[in-house]
Structures are given as structure tokens and as C-alpha cells.
Amino acid sequence: MKSSVLGEELSNTQKVKTGRTTAPQQNVPKPSMLQQTITALMIVGPLGGLIAAIVIFFGHGITLVDLLLALIFYAITGHGVTAGYHRMITHRAFTARRWVKIALAISGSLAFEGAVATWAAQHRRHHAYSDVTGDPHSPYIYGNSFKEKVKGAFHSHVGWLFTPQSIDVEKWAPDIAKDKDLMFISKIFPLLTIISLTLPALLGYLFTFTAAGALGGFIWGGLVRIFLLQHSTFAVNSACHLWGKKPFVTREGDEARNFAPLAILSMGENWHNWHHSVPRSARHGVRRHQIDTTARFIWTLEKLRLVKDVHWPTKEQINSRTKITKYRLGNSDIQ
């Protein structure tokens, strides 16, 4: 990896019990009222869609077209975030052909979770300061008592989106800042959010040639899908740092955990303890029973020769990072 900043960030997350790293104090400007309003609309809007969907469901049910649009757009945009935004762009777990890189970045942008450049920069900062001062969304920001953890859980889930944050793409993602494709996709993020809502509505109309079909596509394939995907991602920040198992070695103070209930909705991002142990790993669910559809998707792309240089974990690597003997792998345990 050519970027010294990125290299330091990734290696820093793998240091074991070398003391906590904290971020230097910075004067971060408060977000403007317009920024706060846009953020609120991106979070509250999908919630309104979910409420409308529930009302419609009990009144008229859900059509097969509605369901298919929701599932298809969830899979496409979700894996755009997990395989594209996260494992490929942020952690460089693999490299892709240019058109595949662009397709994954655009798919991730349709998830309503922010532009790719700032998303990656924030996430790299999270790894550098996981659960210590400087982490953008640690649930331990207020302390360790029950009341403080409840307050911290809300902060790590959605509250941090409304607090002043330092997003220095040049510092945290210099490789992305030099990538013209990714920077252009970041610039057109507002347009992509509009497409994310209008495309399922258009497809709903084309499948049914009715206004009801368009409305169903907009609500289920758009708003409901965005709501579920957003909160699955947010739960990795909150739930996966509060509950679950920590079988693997991470830096001292890092509370990243494996939280099994999120496996399907998060597409494998829930195996968070392994991810924080070896951030560049293309597979997060490293045991055979751990569902990780993102890893399977990357595996398929590799077989089709659309991606290369995939950082698959080995049995030796997994066992060397395992804290508890009973969790070590045998010959048949790794996928």
C-alpha cells in the first residue's frame, strides 16, 4: 500500500495491548442548519416510509412486485456498501476492474449512507481510534455505567450523525482523494440519492402500469429498503460494540464484537471482532457456520476474474489471532 497514512491506520488497528491511541484535540466547526436538516431528512424520511408501509400492509397487504423490489434493491445497495464502500474502497481487501469498482461505488451510494469518500475517511478514523477519544461513533463516549451506555448506544447508532465531525479526506483517504472515479461519484451523491428513490418507483410502474405499483416501488423498494439497510449498518456501530463475543485479539480498549443476530441483514458485517482484528480481511465470518454473503459475493467476483488480490484469511492467521483455544480452527472449520 503506497499511502503511508493509510498504512499506518491499518497497522495501528492491529496492534495488541500497546496502549490507547487518542486523537488530538481539534476545533471542528458545527454543522450548518442546512446540513442538519438534510441529515434529518435522510434518517427520518425512510422511517416515515416504514410507517406508511405498515399502514398499507394492514390495509391492502404487500404485492410480489413490492417484495421483489425491496429484496433486490436491498441486496444490490447493501453489497455496494459492504463489498464496495467497506471492504474494497476503505480497507483494500481486494482490487477490482475499473468498471466493477465504479459499479460497486455507485451501488453503495444508493444506500443513503453518505458519499463514498467521506464514508471511507470516517471509517478509517473509527479504526484508528476505536472506542477511544477520536472515534466518531463509539458507544463508550460517555462512560461505562448502564445509563451512560444507553446514551452512548444512541450516539453510536444515529446521534453521531448530528454532532460535529472532522472529515479530512486528504488525511484519512489520500488514495481516494486521488481517484477521479471515486471523487466524481462522491460529488454526484445527491443525484444518486434521488435515483435510489425514483428507480424502484419507475420499475414498480413499468411492472404494473399503475400508480399503485409506482407508489409500492417507492415505499418498499425505496424508503423501507433504505430504512432497514441504514439501521443494519448503524447497528454494526452500536450493537456490535456492545454485545456479542470477542474471540479474536484486537487492540486494547477496542470493544468490537461478533453479534450473530445481524448476520443476514448486515450481509456478514456483524462478525465485527474478526474485522477489527484483521481489517483487511475480505471475509469477516471466518467459521463455516458464520453467514457472510459479502464474502461469497467477493468470491464469485474473483472466480469471474472481475477482482483480484483478494485478502482471504488463512487457518494459520485465524488461529494466531484467536484468544481462546476452543475457538481455534480445525481443517474443516474454515469456509
**Residue with grid cell 448476520, as numbered in its chain:** 263
Structure confidence at residue 24 (pLDDT): 53
- Alpha-carbon span 308 to 97, nearest angstrom: 8
pLDDT under 70: residue ranges of the chain:
1-42, 44-45, 47-50, 57-59, 166, 324-335
H or E element, residue 52: helix 33-60
- Alpha-carbon span 118 to 334, nearest angstrom: 34
> What does the block give as the cell for 335?
469456509
CA diameter of the chain:
62
- Alpha-carbon span 47 to 4, nearest angstrom: 41
Structure confidence at residue 60 (pLDDT): 73
Structure confidence at residue 167 (pLDDT): 78
Structure confidence at residue 51 (pLDDT): 75
Tell me how far the alpha carbon of residue 194 is from its chain's centroid.
20
Structure confidence at residue 5 (pLDDT): 39
Phi/psi at 253 (nearest 5 deg)? 95, -15
Residue type, 156: S
Structure confidence at residue 143 (pLDDT): 80
The predicted model scores a pTM of 0.86
Phi/psi at 184 (nearest 5 deg)? -65, -45
H or E element, residue 307: strand 307-308
Structure confidence at residue 288 (pLDDT): 85
For the chain, the structural domain boundaries read 47-327
Question: Is the CB of residue 270 less than 8 Å from the CB of residue 303?
Answer: no
Question: Is the CB of residue 205 less than 8 Å from the CB of residue 222?
Answer: no
- Alpha-carbon span 119 to 191, nearest angstrom: 17
Structure confidence at residue 290 (pLDDT): 96
Residue type, 205: Y
**Residue with grid cell 464502500, as numbered in its chain:** 85
- In this structure, the dihedral spanned by the alpha carbons of residues 271, 272, 276 and 277, taken in order and rounded to 10 degrees, is -30
Structure confidence at residue 22 (pLDDT): 56
Question: Is the CB of residue 117 less than 8 Å from the CB of residue 183?
Answer: yes
Question: Rounded to the nearest 5 degrees, what angle is found at the Cα of 293, between the Cα atoms of 237 and 253?
Answer: 30
Sort residue 305 into left (φ over 0), alpha (ψ -120 to 50) or beta: left
